[in-house]
């Protein structure tokens, strides 16, 4: 059935109905997945308190900010069994202002730095202006990495990003895309939050503390969503990634548990 159009009308309905309907569908999809909201939230965060929203123990993008990022990057890569290489390409999902990207660029031959925020990517480029091996990619935040080819990367790395993704569907789609863009033998290292009740309660209590201090931590682009680790593992294994989940070894007693999803693409 052909979609009716309003072509030829002069009363404001000159455009075809089909493109307008498609645009409306895309807008509805962005609303459901929190795409527009996420971009607005993280652009605003980057303009006003970028360092804090990237790593809550910091108020500015100081050398200490980047040094701590490098130390953590090394520890996480080792924990997850990811070996860097001068000819390897790593995809970082949620690069922010480049706190860990700088270290990844020192360890890998090429880095693809992905973020939902234009402003975060701009600041990341400024901070890493001396690093010629970093490519920057803006994504919608709905889980798609559509412009990346299948099997394009040797490793996928992400820290404190998936926990801010507003919807379960978007998180799972990111994992689908991780599996797609990994080459055979490629490594996965993605941090997620525990879905246990204790950890959910601790997380929400932390959000409330930050709200009292003037942060926008009840926004769903900060709160994110939770996906059970077992669901993630099952999803990845269905796509030929031998996945497993490991609690982070240095877990503070009164902080929500951080877990790492690791795996190898068959």
Cβ-in-10-Å burial (0-12, 13-18, 19+) of 10 comes to exposed
Verify that 87 and 107 share a domain, yes or no: yes
Structure tokens at 30: 């962005």
Assess whether 22 and 101 both reside in one domain. Answer: no
Say if residues 220 and 188 touch (Cβ distance below 8 Å).
no
Query: How far does Cα 72 stand from its chain's mean position?
Result: 17
Whether the CA torsion 77, 185, 229, 163 is positive or negative: it is positive
SS3 205: helix
Model confidence over 41-74: pLDDT tens digits? 999 999 999 999 999 989 999 999 999 999 999 9
Distance, in Å, from the CA atom of 98 to the CA atom of 121, rounded to the nearest integer, reads 8
Whether residues 10 and 72 share a domain: the answer is no
Helices first, then strands: H and E counts in the chain: 9, 7
DSSP 56: T
| 144 and 22 both lie in a single domain | no
On whether both 160 and 176 belong to a single domain, the answer is yes
Residue among 133, 147, 122 at smallest CA distance from 89: 133
Tell me the CATH number at 85.
3.40.50.150
Name the pTM for this structure.
0.84
State residue 7's pLDDT score.
36
On whether both 15 and 45 belong to a single domain, the answer is: no
Q: Do 14 and 68 fall into the same domain?
A: no
The answer for 131, left when phi > 0, alpha when psi is -120 to 50, beta otherwise, is beta
| Predicted local confidence at residue 93, as pLDDT | 98
Give pLDDT, residue 248. Answer: 87
Is 167 found in the same domain as 260? yes
3-class secondary structure, 223: helix
Q: What is residue 9's predicted lDDT score, i.e. its pLDDT?
A: 37
Tokens of 170: 């978007």
| Alpha-carbon dihedral angle through residues 20, 22, 24, 30, given to the nearest 10 degrees | -150
Question: Are residues 18 and 110 located together in one domain of the fold?
Answer: no
Domains in the chain, number: 2
What is the pLDDT, as a whole number, of residue 17? 66
Residue 257 CA to residue 132 CA, distance in Å, equals 36
* Cα dihedral across residues 197, 93, 207, 28: positive or negative: negative
What per-residue confidence (pLDDT) applies to 22? 55
The reply to whether 7 and 73 lie within a common domain is: no
* List of the chain residues with pLDDT < 50: 1-15, 25-28, 30-34
25 lies in which domain range?
A: 1-33
Given the structure tokens 């965060």, which residue do they identify? 45
Residue recorded with tokens 């020192």? 106
Q: Which of 259, 54, 41, 21 is nearest to 141 (CA)?
A: 41
4 and 73: one domain? Answer: no
> Minimal CA–CA distance to 59: which of 221, 209, 215?
215
Say whether both 79 and 196 belong to one domain: yes
């Amino acid at each position: 059935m052909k979609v009716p159009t309003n072509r030829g009308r002069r009363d404001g309905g000159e455009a075809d109905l089909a493109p307008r309907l498609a645009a409306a569908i895309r807008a509805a999809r962005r609303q459901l997945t929190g795409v527009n909201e996420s971009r607005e939230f993280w652009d605003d965060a980057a303009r006003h308190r970028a360092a804090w929203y990237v790593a809550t123990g910091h108020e500015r993008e100081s050398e200490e900010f980047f040094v701590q990022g490098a130390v953590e990057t090394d520890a996480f890569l080792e924990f997850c069994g990811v070996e860097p290489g001068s000819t390897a390409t790593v995809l970082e999902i949620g690069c922010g202002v480049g706190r860990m990207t700088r270290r990844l660029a020192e360890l890998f031959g090429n880095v693809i730095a992905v973020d939902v925020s234009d402003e975060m990517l701009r600041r990341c480029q400024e901070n890493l202006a001396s690093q010629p091996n970093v490519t920057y990619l803006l994504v919608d935040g709905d889980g798609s990495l559509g412009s990346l080819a299948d099997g394009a990367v040797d490793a996928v790395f992400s820290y404190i990003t998936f926990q801010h993704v507003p919807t379960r569907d978007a998180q799972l789609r990111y994992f689908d895309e991780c599996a797609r863009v990994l080459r055979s033998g490629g490594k996965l290292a993605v941090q997620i939050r525990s879905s246990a009740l204790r950890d959910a309660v601790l997380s929400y209590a932390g959000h409330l503390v930050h709200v009292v201090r003037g942060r926008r931590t009840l926004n769903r682009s900060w709160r994110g969503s939770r996906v059970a680790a077992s669901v993630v593992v099952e999803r990845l294994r269905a796509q030929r990634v031998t996945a497993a989940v490991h609690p982070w070894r240095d877990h503070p007693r009164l902080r929500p548990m951080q877990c790492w999803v690791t795996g190898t693409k068959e």
